[in-house]
Structure 1
Amino acid sequence: MSIAVTGATGQLGRLVVEDLLRRGVAPHDIIATGRDTDRLADLAERGVQARRADFADSAGLTEAFTGARKVLLVSTTTVGERFDNHTRAIDAAKRTGAQLIAYTSTLNAHSANMILADAHSKTERYLRDSGVPWVVLRNGWYLDNYTSQVPLYLQTGAVPGSAGTGRVSAASRRDYAEAAATVLTSEGHAGSVYELGGDTAFTLAELADALSTASGQGVVYHDLPVEQYRSALLGAGLPAEMAEVLSDSDLGLGRGELFTGSSDLRRLIGRPTTTLADALTEALRS
C-alpha cells in the first residue's frame, strides 16, 4: 500500500510523512513529493521514496504518483494558482490509478465567503466529479498562525486583527497531520467531508488574554478596520496578495467562517486537540 504525500518539503506535508512513519508504515511504501528533492534527502536516507513533483508539470505529477494507492493532496500556497494546480494533481492521480485522493481544504469551504475558500470549494467539486474515491479534510486555522507571531505580540503589547468577537476553532498543524495520517492508514473514509477544528474556539481578545497569562506581560487585542489591518500587514513586509488574504480571512473569522462545533478532529486523532494555552507555553519556551 503506497501512499503519496504532496508538499512533503512543507510543514504540514512533512508532519504527515513523519506520522505515517510513527504509525509503522514501511518507509518504502511512502512517496514524499516536492519541488526540491534535496529537502527530502533525510527522508530518502530513511528509506522513503523521494520524488520531484511540480504542480505546474502534469507529466511530472503523473510520474511522481505512479504506484500510489492513496494520494494526499496538500493544498498549494499560492492562492491565485491553487485551483489549476489542484486539478492537474487530481488528473495525475486518476491517470496513475489512485484508489483514494484525500484533499486538505478549508473549514466551511461550502459556505465561507473568504477569498481562501473559493479555490478550495472549486477543488472539492472537481474532486467529487473526478470519478476517484475521495475524502475532504477541511482544516481549520492553525494555532501556529498565532504562536509564530508571539515575539511580535510581546514586543508591541498587542494582537492586531479585524475579527471583532468572532471565534476561531484553531488546532495545531500536528493535530491536522495526525488526522490526515489516520485517513491514509485506515478504511471507511471515502466520500466523507471532515470539518476539522480545535475543541475550544476562542476570540482574538481571548488569545491576547491567554498570552498575557502565559507570559506575565500585558497584551491586548486591537480590533482594526480591515483597511488599517491590511496596511499594517503590508508595513510588516507581507506581499500584497498575502496581506489581502489574511485581512480578508479575519473578516471571515468575524462572520463565523473559521468556527466549527464538529468533533471530527478529536475523533480522528483519538485525543483532545492541542489547547491554546499549551501552544502558547510551547511557543514561549522555544
Structure 2
Amino acid sequence: MTTLITGATGHLGSLTLQHLLQRVPASGIAVSVRDPAKAAHLGVEVRHGDFDRPETLDFVGVDRLMLISTDGPDEARIAKQTAAVRVAHEAGVGHIVYSSVTEATTSPLSLAVVHRATEELIRTTGIPFTFLRNAMYHENYTAQLPGAYERGALVTATGDGRIASASRDDLALAAAVVLSTDGHEGAVYELTGPRAWGFDELAAIAAEVTGKPLAHRSVPDADLLAGLSAAGLPAFVCELLVDIQANIRAGALAEVRPDLEKLIGRPATPVEDAVRVSVG
C-alpha cells in the first residue's frame, strides 16, 4: 500500500509525515512537494507536485492520499484543489483524506467556503473519503505572544469570545492514525482541542509563564484590519484573519468535540503547553 502526503514540507504535512513514519514502513510512503530538493532528506519517495501546475501532480499507484489544503485567495485555492481532486480521480486513488475546517458544511467563516467546495467535489467523485475538520491551531495565537509583549498588549478583535483550538501536532497525529488504520471511510471528524479559552485568559497564561504582565485589548474589526494591513500582510490574509476573529467573538469556534482525543488515544494538548513553547 502506498500513502502519499501533499505539502509534506509544510507545517501540518511535515508533522503528519513524522507521525506516519512511526506507524508504517517508509517504503510505503510518498510525498508530493513543489520543490523536491527540500524533501530529499525525508527518507521516502519524493514526487514533484505543484498545485499551481496541475499537470505536475502524480497520484498514480496511491492507495491513500492525504490532501492538505493549499494557501492563497479563495478562488485560487478552489481551483488548485479542484484540479488535485480530479487528478486523484483519474489516477484511481483509493481513499482521500482531506484537511478541512471545523463545521465546514455550516460554518459562517469565510475560510469554510473553500473547504465546503472541496468536500462537495470529493463526494461527487465517488472516491472513499475521510474529512478531518481541523480547529484553528493553538500556534496561530501563541505565536503572537512575543510580538504582543513588544507592543505592550495582545490586540485582537475577539472580545469575550472563546475558541476550542487544537495543537497542530495533535491534528497531525490524528491524520497519521487515519492514514495508517482501516475503518475511516466516509467519516467526518470534528477535531477540536480539550476546552474553549478566551484571549483574556491567553494573556493571563502568558503572564503566568513569563512572570511579566500582559494585557489583552479587543478592538473593532476595522482597527484590526488596518493594523494587519500596516504590517504588510496581503489583503486576502488580513480579511481572513479579521473574519476568523469576528467569528470567535460571535462564538462560532467555541464548541468542544471528542473526536480528536478518540483518534489519538490520549487527552488533547491544552493551550497552556503551546504558550510555554512560545514564551516559556
Does 1:251 find its partner at 2:250?
A: no
Letter in structure 2 aligned against 1:37: P
Q: Which whole-Å CA distance do the structure 2 matches of 1:83 and 1:3 have between them? A: 23
Q: Which whole-Å CA distance do the structure 1 matches of 2:213 and 2:60 have between them? A: 54
Deviation by residue 1:73-99 (Cα, 9 ceiling, x = unmatched): 100011321111111111111111111
Q: Which whole-Å CA distance do the structure 2 matches of 1:70 and 1:38 have between them? A: 24
Offset, 1:34: 1.0
2:28 match? 29
Native 8 Å contact 1:79 1:116 kept in 2: no
Task: Give runs of aligned pairs for residues 234-273 of structure 1, distance below 5 A.
Answer: 234-273=229-268
Deviation by residue 1:97-149 (Cα, 9 ceiling, x = unmatched): 11110111111111112211111111111111111001100000111111222
1:9 match? 9
Offset, 1:261: 2.1
Letter in structure 2 aligned against 1:60: T
Offset, 1:284: 2.1
Q: Which whole-Å CA distance do the structure 1 matches of 2:240 and 2:18 have between them? A: 30
Q: Which whole-Å CA distance do the structure 1 matches of 2:247 and 2:262 have between them? A: 26
Native 8 Å contact 2:34 2:48 kept in 1: yes
Native 8 Å contact 1:115 1:245 kept in 2: yes
Q: Which whole-Å CA distance do the structure 1 matches of 2:55 and 2:233 have between them? A: 33
1:103 match? 98
Question: TM (normalized to structure 2)?
Answer: 0.96
Q: Count the aligned residue pairs.
A: 279
Q: Which whole-Å CA distance do the structure 2 matches of 1:197 and 1:20 have between them? A: 21
Q: CA RMSD in A?
A: 1.2
Unaligned runs of 5+ in 2: none
Offset, 1:153: 1.4
Q: Which whole-Å CA distance do the structure 2 matches of 1:172 and 1:16 have between them? A: 13
Q: Which whole-Å CA distance do the structure 2 matches of 1:252 and 1:88 have between them? A: 30
1:220 match? 215
Following TM superposition, the consecutive aligned residue runs of length 4 or more in structure 1 with deviations greater than 6 angstroms are none
Question: TM (normalized to structure 1)?
Answer: 0.94
Native 8 Å contact 2:206 2:279 kept in 1: no
Offset, 1:237: 2.2
Deviation by residue 1:204-263 (Cα, 9 ceiling, x = unmatched): 111111111111111111111000001111122212111111011101112222223211
Letter in structure 2 aligned against 1:56: D
Native 8 Å contact 1:112 1:252 kept in 2: no
Task: Give runs of aligned pairs for residues 74-223 of structure 1, distance below 5 A.
Answer: 74-80=68-74, 81-223=76-218
**Per the alignment, do residues 264 and 79 of structure 1 end up closer, same or farther by CA in structure 2, a change over 3 Å counting?**
farther
Offset, 1:66: 1.2
Unaligned runs of 5+ in 1: none
Q: Which whole-Å CA distance do the structure 2 matches of 1:255 and 1:112 have between them? A: 12
Letter in structure 2 aligned against 1:10: G
1:232 to 219, 227, 235: 227
1:55 match? 51
SS at match of 2:4: strand
Q: Which whole-Å CA distance do the structure 1 matches of 2:229 and 2:3 have between them? A: 39
Deviation by residue 1:173-197 (Cα, 9 ceiling, x = unmatched): 1011000001101111111111111
SS at match of 2:130: strand
1:66 to 60, 68, 76: 60
Offset, 1:8: 0.6
Q: Which whole-Å CA distance do the structure 1 matches of 2:231 and 2:256 have between them? A: 33
